Amino acid sequence: MNLIDALKSRRSIRRYQSRPIPKDLAKSLIDAAQTAPSAGNLSARRYVLVSNEDMRRLLAAAAYGQEHIEEAPLLIAVCADVKASSVRYGSRGGLYAIQDADAATMCLLLAAHDAGLGACWNGAFDDDMVREALHLEDDVLPVAIVSLGWPEESPARPERTRRVGEVSWID
Ligand SMILES: Cc1cc2nc3c(=O)[nH]c(=O)nc-3n(C[C@H](O)[C@H](O)[C@H](O)COP(=O)(O)O)c2cc1C
C-alpha cells in the first residue's frame, strides 16, 4: 500500500469479527512498531499482547467500560519504559519514553491497516488499573491499548477541524 494512501485511508475501527489474529501476524505488527524512531535509539517502550478473554474484560473495565476493548480478539498495550530512557536522559527521559511509545503505536496502526486489520488507539483508561492488571512496574507507563481485529465496519473519514494558528510558518 502506498504510504500516503495508507495514511489517508486508515480509520479507527471499533467493531471486529471474533476470529482470532494469527500469532505470526501479531508478531509482524510488533516488528513494524519497532521500526519507529526512538530517542537515542533506546526503544524505551514495551508491548503486552493480550488475547485472553478475562484479561480483555479487565482492560475494558479499566478503560471505563469501552466495549470494543473487550470484543477485540487482540489487544496490544504499548507502554513507555520511563526507566530505560531516564537512565540516559534524566528527567527528560519520561517525555522521551512516552514519545517512543507514541511513535511505535502509530507504526503499529499503519501496519495493521496494511494487513487488512482494523485497529483503534485507546488512551482513555485508568493507569493504575491497567498497570495492576498487566503487572507493570511503577516506572512503566501504559500509553495506548490498541484494540485489533478483522474489521466489521468501514466508517467514513471524520472531518479534521482546523484551528486558527494550527500551522505557522517562520520563513
Ligand atoms: C491519544 C489518543 C487517545 C485515544 N483514545 C481513544 C479511546 O480511549 N477510545 C476510542 O474509542 N478512541 C480513542 N482514540 C481514537 C480517536 O477517537 C480517533 O483517532 C479520532 O476520532 C479520529 O478518527 P480516525 O482515527 O478514524 O482518524 C484515541 C486516539 C488518540 C490519538
* Domain residue spans of the chain: 23-149
Ligand 1 closest atom vs CA 124: 8
What pLDDT score was predicted for residue 161?
A: 87
Phi, psi of 158 (to 5 degrees): -70, 150
pLDDT in tens, 23-35: 999 999 999 999 9
Place of cell 467493531: 15
Pocket perturbation via mutation, ligand 1, pick of 121, 125, 147, 160 by most ligand atoms within 8 A of CB: 121
Q: How many residues does the chain have?
A: 171
Mean pLDDT, contiguous 10-residue spans, the chain (171 residues): 95 97 98 98 98 98 98 98 98 98 98 98 98 97 98 95 88 93
The sign one gets for the Cα dihedral 98, 127, 14, 147 is positive
Pocket perturbation via mutation, ligand 1, pick of 12, 75, 108 by most ligand atoms within 8 A of CB: 12
Ligand 1 binding site (Cβ under 6 Å of any ligand atom) = 11-12, 14, 66, 120-124, 158
What pLDDT score was predicted for residue 165?
A: 85
Neighbours of 98 (CB within 10 A): 18
Antiparallel, parallel or unpaired: β 118-122 and 45-50? unpaired
How close is the Cα of 87 to the center of ligand 1, in Å?
31
Q: Which CATH class is domain 23-149?
A: alpha beta
What pLDDT score was predicted for residue 163?
A: 86
